[in-house]
Amino acid sequence: MSKAIPWWFNSLLLPLANVGLAFVACAIVLWLMGIDVLFATHVMIDGALGSGEGVGYTLYYATNFIFAGLAVALAWQAGLFNIGAEGQALIGGLGISIVCLYWVPLPMILLFPLTILVSALFGALWAFIPGWLNAYRGSHIVITTIMFNLIASSLIVYLLVGPLKESGQMAAVSTTFPQQTWLPSIENMASYFGVTLQSSPLNISFIWALLCCLGTYFYLWHTRVGFETRVVGLNLQGAKFAGIAQRRIIIITMLLSGALAGFIGLNEVQGSSHQLQVEFVSGYGFTGIAIALMGRNHPLGILIASLLFGALYQGGAELAFNIDSVGNDVIILIQALVVLFCGALELMLKPSLINLFRFNSPKTEAGNA
């Protein structure tokens, strides 16, 4: 006899099976490259989770992914494909740098909210223009946000070889911020409570990222504007009937999405490198698309996907460090396979798994998913 599909099938079993399949594919590629797969797995797991330092790095990378994933997912809930998180993050980082370089002597308890605000404002500003163009002029959001990525990176290059460049330096980086503006690391915070942790760039912005997950969830599912956002994303005619101002929702959503992307600067610029670098975003914004896809545009899913990607990033870095024939490309390959199997081929295993467990297969569900 067949039975209805239980809740854990779509939200647990299927994603796990997909990730598992991706890892199998990775193992085959590594084996073809002549790498000892077992050893490589050991290096990756140990590197990402085996030590306090490894876990610190994993969470540090995950912080960026959470911000980027939330930014993409929030826009997606309104039916907008924001692929400009990259540029919005750059501009957010610029805002933070301006505050930190020309800082007014403020205690951290005031400075941190200020930089949160400023990075949000700068990121939102960068998302506002594509949002406005989409709402009032019908420009395609994908095209405009891509263009704004390019403009943002050119702008940063200009500033870093010009006005913001540290004098007497060859590299295109800004002056290092005064130490008082550095975000407290988790290591320091723990030692304040008498707990000793190994050193890593993990800092307080990770906690802010967790709060953002919570906030995004609350916003989307428990507020009126969030409700309106989802209606716009699901059924435009329904939104019109409900009297929802679609243009207003598009702009609000893009502002919030940009603000979330802007927070990447908190972790990278103010939390870790303590200076503005040309390529500090280095693809986090784009990886956010994959994170949102894997996390099914839900904050909890995004948190889990971010942790997985954080571990992959850190484990991959260890792999490249330990095995000579493995370069950075292999890390990108592994991520690409995860995205391929969890995103593009998300439903590939579904029919066979349904058969395996002898569940009912309602056609409508397969169509909606």
Partner 1 sequence: MLAPALELRHIDKSYHAVEALNDASISIAPGSIHGVIGENGAGKSSLMQIAYGLIQPDSGEIFVDGAKVELLSPLQAIEHGIGMLHQKASWLEQLSVFDNIMLAEPVTGFLFQQKEKAMAKLELLRREFGFEFSLSVKMSQLDYSQRQLVDVLRSLYRGVRVLILDEPLALLAPSQADYLNNLLVLLKIQGISVVVVSHKLAVLHQLCDVITVIRTGRVIGCIDPHSVSLREMSKQMVGREINLPHPRVEPSKNKGKVLLDIKGLRVHGAKTGRKSTTKLLLRDINLSVHAGEMIALVGLPESGQDVLLDVLAGMVRFDGGAIDFLQYAIRPKSRYKINKARDYGIAYAPNPNFNIGLVDQLTMAESVYLGYQKQDFGRWGLLSGRQRHQTCHQLMMEWNVVPALPAMQTGLFSGGNQQKMVLAREFSHQPSLLLLNQPTHGVDVGAIETIYQRLFELREQGSSILFCSTDLDEVMSLADRICLFSHGELTEIFNAEDTDRTRLALSVIKEAHDV
Tell me: does residue 231 bind partner 1 (CB under 8 A).
yes
Token duo for residue 157: 């290059």
List 38, 138, 243, 324, residue binding partner 1 (CB under 8 A)? 243
Q: Which is nearer to partner 1, 132 or 227 (CB)?
A: 227
Does residue number 362 form part of the binding site for partner 1 (CB under 8 A)?
A: yes
The whole-angstrom separation of Cα 298 and Cα 313 is 22
Backbone angles phi, psi at 277, to 5 degrees: -115, 155
| Contact region with partner 1 (CB under 8 A), list: 154-162, 236-244, 308-316, 319-327 | 236-244
- Cα 50 vs. chain centroid, distance in angstroms? 24
CB contact at 8 A, 256 and 72:
no
Asked if 237 is part of the footprint of partner 1 (rule: CB under 8 A), the reply reads yes
Length of the chain: 369
Task: Give the binding-site size for partner 1 (rule: CB under 8 A).
Answer: 27
**Exposed e or buried b per residue across 116-148, where buried means at least 16 C-beta atoms within 10 angstroms of its C-beta:** bebbbbbbbbbbebbbbbbbeeebebeebbbeb
Is 234 a residue that touches partner 1 (CB under 8 A)?
Answer: yes
Nearer to partner 1, 4 or 104 (CB): 4
Cα(247)–Cα(229) distance, integer angstroms: 11
Q: Judged by CB under 8 A, does residue 242 bind partner 1? A: yes
Nearest-CA neighbor of 268 among 255, 259, 277?
Answer: 277
Longest dimension (CA), the chain: 76
Q: Is 3 helix (H, G, I), strand (E, B) or coil?
A: strand
One of 230, 246, 273, 336 touching partner 1 (CB under 8 A): 230
Q: Any contact of residue 327 with partner 1 (CB under 8 A)?
A: no
Residue type, 30: L
Contact call for residue 227 and partner 1 (CB under 8 A):
yes
| Residue 2 or 325 with smaller CB distance to partner 1 | 2
Strand partners, 359: 3
Measure Cα distances from 322 to 31, 44, 50, 200, 332 in Å: 16, 10, 15, 19, 17
Q: Which of 105, 222, 324, 356 binds partner 1 (CB under 8 A)?
A: 222
Query: Per rule CB under 8 A, is residue 248 in the interface with partner 1?
Result: no
Which of 228, 249, 318, 319 binds partner 1 (CB under 8 A)? It is 228
For position 98 contacting partner 1 by CB under 8 A, the verdict is no
As measured in angstroms, the least distance from the Cβ of 6 to partner 1 is 10
| Cross-strand pairs, 165 | 174
One residue of 192, 196, 224, 324 binding partner 1 per CB under 8 A = 224
Q: Closer CB to partner 1, residue 85 or residue 220?
A: 220
Distances in Å between the Cα of 288 and the Cα atoms of 41, 112, 217, 269 are 25, 24, 17, 18
Residues facing residue 174 across a β-bridge: 165
> Is residue 355 a contact residue for partner 1 (CB under 8 A)?
no
Residue whose CB is less far from partner 1, 13 or 114: 13
Look up residue 327 and give its two tokens. 């370069």
Residue 360 interacts with partner 1 (CB under 8 A)? Answer: yes
Instruction: Output the six-digit token pair for 228.
Output: 């309106």
Q: Is 94 helix (H, G, I), strand (E, B) or coil?
A: helix
**Interface residue with partner 1, options 154, 169, 235, 325 (CB under 8 A):** 235
Nearer to partner 1, 113 or 362 (CB): 362
Q: Assess 358 for contact with partner 1 (CB under 8 A).
A: no
Verify binding: residue 367, partner 1, rule CB under 8 A.
Answer: no
CB nearer to partner 1: give 16 or 242. Answer: 242
Closer CB to partner 1, 352 or 361, in the complex = 361
Q: Which residues on neighbouring strands pair with residue 3, listed in sequence order?
A: 359
Distance between CA 291 and CA 301 in Å, rounded?
9
Phi, psi of 173, rounded to the nearest 5 degrees: -135, 160
The answer to the question of residue 241 lying near partner 1 (CB under 8 A) is yes
In contact, 131 and 253? CB cutoff 8 Å: yes
Asked if 217 is part of the footprint of partner 1 (rule: CB under 8 A), the reply reads no
Stretch that binds partner 1, among 88-96, 128-136, 321-329, 355-363 (CB under 8 A): 355-363
User: Can you give the binding site for partner 1, defined by CB under 8 A?
Assistant: 1-2, 4, 221-225, 227-228, 230-231, 234-235, 237-238, 240-244, 360-364, 368
